[in-house]
């Protein structure tokens, strides 16, 4: 099995570079009006290059900017992002180059003319492994970090802007191996939707929650959405956690790392990101509730750091991505703050999806019955798929 994985990796890399990249699209909190920008993270040997391009900051000078423990944007003040990210348990706030610091301590950033345009090469930060920053948050503060005061350098509050760190789009042909931490288990995540520019007056908003009983359990996905039009809308997890493009296209295609066709739950063979349709309304509010056996916040195919997209039209199961149209709303899946109380759905919200369109489109050999979960994809089936892909490439 290991040999096959190595061969597959070599095959993938032959078509592009293997990179580790993450991205975060900064938006203002209730105290940081007008701030927007992008922060990128790129592995560069033993360090990570952190590049900030941010505009709309009202005060020039030094401003603290840190990684925080929760990718939770539910609080308009930024408080739901929690404290500095400290998975190593150093319990000591400091600024680089001090190595005895929180992993999230990125020090001060220089604002000139209302903007930050700066790159730092930082140690300690990682984009893979048990301490990965994928699914966590970046917070820009309104004052300078004094690099001494415990536990946060005297900078909180105010929190002026924040974002969830997602898996970056690496460019055509490249392979991004950045991923959320495989351990410890994350059992609750969330995603706060923002509108795209697909409509002249787009006010689609809402919050989507992800919950697992254990690391190997199915994931309940549920949420409340406003601003839709009373018709079904395709609803998917996409491959990149990049919401910097106002049209939603930076998120890439459906998240489908396994070689399955597009489908609708509970259709057994489908992309991990296939969540079917939002179709239930009560008044002007739409609701979604489905326990998905393909989705997990844990393991090799964690959805943390990937994007959720709501489309303009119904997902009709047609290949390759369901013919669901342009993108009306987007967000990046982040680790939920345990203090954030999820939305309670009203009685009567259905917990099923209609797979009839998929059954009509695909032959019986594809429309297999039974458990379609990732847990059921054992090493033998994965090995078979890898062999088939390698042989197809060679011959």
Which residues are CB-neighbours of 250 under 8 A, at least 6 positions away? 169, 240, 242, 243, 244
351, 151 Cβ separation under 8 angstroms? no
Decide if 254 is catalytic: yes
Which position among 254, 270, 306, 336 bears the catalytic label? 254
Helix 379-394 vs helix 2-13: crossing angle, to nearest 10: 40
**Phi and psi at residue 43, in whole multiples of 5°?**
-65, 130
Residue closest to 261 by CA, chosen among 363, 149, 117, 115: 363
Which position among 102, 141, 236, 336 bears the catalytic label? 236
Which position among 271, 306, 315, 336 bears the catalytic label? 271
Decide if 271 is catalytic: yes
Decide if 63 is catalytic: no
- CA pair distance 328, 237, nearest whole angstrom: 14
Which position among 101, 311, 315, 336 bears the catalytic label? 311
Decide if 336 is catalytic: no
Which position among 84, 93, 102, 262 bears the catalytic label? 262
Which position among 66, 274, 315, 336 bears the catalytic label? 274
Which position among 101, 141, 238, 306 bears the catalytic label? 238
Which position among 63, 93, 136, 327 bears the catalytic label? 327
Residue closest to 112 by CA, chosen among 169, 173, 154, 62: 62
Decide if 141 is catalytic: no
Decide if 262 is catalytic: yes
- CA pair distance 274, 235, nearest whole angstrom: 7
Which residues are CB-neighbours of 139 under 8 A, at least 6 positions away? 65, 66, 68, 78, 81, 156, 159, 161, 162
Which residues are designated catalytic?
Answer: 236, 238, 254, 262, 271, 274, 311, 327
């Amino acid at each position: 099995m290991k040999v096959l994985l190595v061969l597959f990796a070599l095959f993938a890399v032959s078509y592009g570079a293997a990179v580790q990249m993450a991205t975060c699209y900064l938006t203002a909190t209730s105290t940081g009006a007008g701030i927007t920008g992008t922060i990128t993270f790129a592995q560069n040997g033993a360090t990570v290059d952190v590049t900030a391009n941010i505009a709309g900051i009202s005060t020039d000078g030094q401003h603290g900017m840190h990684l925080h423990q929760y990718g939770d944007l539910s609080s308009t003040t930024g408080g739901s992002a929690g404290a500095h990210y400290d998975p190593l348990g150093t319990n000591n706030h400091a600024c680089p180059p001090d190595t005895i610091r929180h992993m999230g301590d990125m020090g001060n950033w220089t604002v000139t003319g209302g903007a930050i345009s700066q790159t730092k090469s930082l140690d300690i930060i990682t984009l893979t492994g048990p301490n990965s920053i994928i699914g966590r948050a970046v917070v820009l503060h309104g004052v300078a970090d004094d690099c001494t005061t415990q536990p946060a350098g005297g900078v909180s509050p105010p929190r002026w802007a924040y974002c969830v760190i997602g898996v970056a789009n690496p460019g055509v042909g490249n392979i991004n191996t950045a991923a959320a931490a495989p351990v410890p288990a994350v059992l609750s995540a969330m995603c706060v939707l923002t509108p795209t520019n697909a409509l002249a007056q787009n006010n689609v908003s809402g919050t989507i929650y992800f919950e697992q009983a254990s690391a190997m359990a199915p994931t309940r996905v549920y949420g409340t959405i406003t601003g839709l039009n009373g018709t079904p809308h395709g609803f998917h997890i996409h491959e990149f956690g990049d919401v910097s493009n106002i049209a939603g296209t930076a998120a890439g295609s459906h998240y489908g790392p396994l070689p399955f066709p597009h489908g609708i739950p509970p259709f057994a063979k489908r992309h991990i990101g296939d969540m079917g349709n939002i179709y239930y309304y009560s008044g002007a509010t739409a609701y979604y509730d489905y326990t998905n056996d393909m989705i997990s916040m844990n393991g090799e195919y964690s959805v943390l750091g990937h994007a959720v997209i709501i489309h303009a039209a119904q997902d009709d199961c047609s290949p390759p991505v369901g013919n669901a149209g342009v993108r009306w709303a987007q967000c990046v899946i982040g680790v939920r703050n345990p203090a954030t109380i999820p939305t309670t759905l009203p009685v009567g919200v259905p917990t099923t999806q209609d797979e009839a369109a998929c059954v009509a489109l695909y032959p019986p050999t594809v429309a297999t019955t039974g458990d379609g979960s990732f847990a059921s994809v054992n090493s033998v089936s994965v090995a078979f798929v890898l062999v088939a892909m390698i042989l197809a490439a060679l011959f």
